[in-house]
Amino acid sequence: MGNNALNLNPTRANIDITTHASDWLWAVFAIMALASIAILAWGHLKRPVGERAFHELAAALCFTASIAYFAMASVTRPTRSIWYARYIDWTITTPLLLLELLLVTGLPLSQIFSVLFFDLVMIETGLIGALVASRYKWGFYAFGCAALLYITYFLLVPGRRSSQRLGTDFHKSYSTGALYLSLIWLVYPIIWGVADGGNYITPTSEMVAYGVLDILAKPVFSVVHLMSLSRLDHARLGMSSSKVSDGAHQNLLNEKMGPNSTSATPRASTVASPNAGNYGDGSHFHGGAGTGMGVGNGAGTGTVGDGSHFHRGGNAAAAV
């Protein structure tokens, strides 16, 4: 059975895509959908609960892109054709791509949020510019390019500098991903300029160009990035989800080394300040400097329960 998308949804614009372009969109949809399923399965098979954030982000962005390409392949569009599904896709997937990278830097959330904000500015100004028929569209194009330059600068300068604090392995993983994604993203405004902007190429050529870029920027990037992270210790990122992550981490160690192995010890919690008290990791508690751990309660101190153990601040002795 052939591709009947254009027969079921006749073209309405003077400049529109062909059946071959629709075939290509269906192929990109299939790649995105299969990539999302494979990446999600990869995370569930290889990482414990609480350490699947990067796999789930990658699967979410590929899944979102698959829906967008399904919509475009089905010729769901207005009248040169403006493809709203593409901009909706980018609004969801590009912040996820940036999160995949920036969560490996140790940057403050405030700086990560600023990058995500300018990413949304870049996408929405591109959509508005595509809808404007006059030369004022290039003003929106300029705003979008300025936002892209800010994002690129942040990925390549502050992001790389911050990732060095996590160690050379995380720095290398992040730097490779940031450079790769930055180079791919710099091609997008060129395609926009000759397609939605200047109308120099046909919608079919536009579909092929964006399809290739999206495959490189989403499933290919995600797989390469996840492979570079697979050999690294995620605990150093401080992204553990309390007892769930630590319990899963302990189970993973027990599976690999046996429950009675001396190496199968709970993962250390995030490093505390020298004057910090006791911090739980879901299976044990840790004493900060000047903290005694034994039987008995320290006078004048309170306890905070976590459902299985308790934590005590100051120089208190922790009751067992």
Q: Which residues have CB under 8 Å from 168's CB, separation 6+?
A: none
Residue 132 pLDDT: 80
User: Are residues 58 and 192 both part of a single domain?
Assistant: yes
Compute CA 170 distance to the chain's CA centroid, rounded to the nearest angstrom. 16
Residue 316: count other Cβ atoms within 10 Å of its Cβ: 23
Residue ranges of the chain with per-residue pLDDT less than 70: 1, 4-15, 49-50, 75-79, 235, 238-320
**How much is the pLDDT for 256?**
52
Q: In this structure, is residue 255 part of a structural domain? A: no
In a domain, 251, yes or no: no
209 plus 273 within the same structural domain: no
Sequence-distant (6+) residues with CB within 8 A of 27 are 211
Residue 258 within any structural domain of the chain: no
Same domain, 273 and 233: no
Residue 253: inside a domain = no
Both 79 and 213 in one domain: the answer is: yes
How many distinct structural domains can be found in the chain? 2
Angle formed by the axes of helices 84-102 and 137-156, nearest 10°: 20
Q: Same domain for 125 and 159?
A: yes
DSSP result, 223-252: HHHHHHHTTS-GGGGT---HHHHHHHHHHH
Task: Tell me what pLDDT residue 278 has.
Answer: 42
Asked if 274 and 223 sit in the same domain, the reply is: no
- The domain of 311 spans 263-318
**Res 163: pLDDT:** 87
Distance CA 154, CA 73 (A): 35
Give CA–CA dist 284/306, Å, rounded: 11
Residue 249 domain-assigned (yes or no): no
Residue 248 counted as domain residue = no
Last residue of a domain, one of 237, 271, 301: 237
32 CB-near residues (< 8 Å, 6+ apart): 62, 63, 65, 66, 69, 214, 215, 218, 219
CATH code, domain with 52: 1.20.1070.10
Q: Are residues 187 and 221 in the same domain?
A: yes
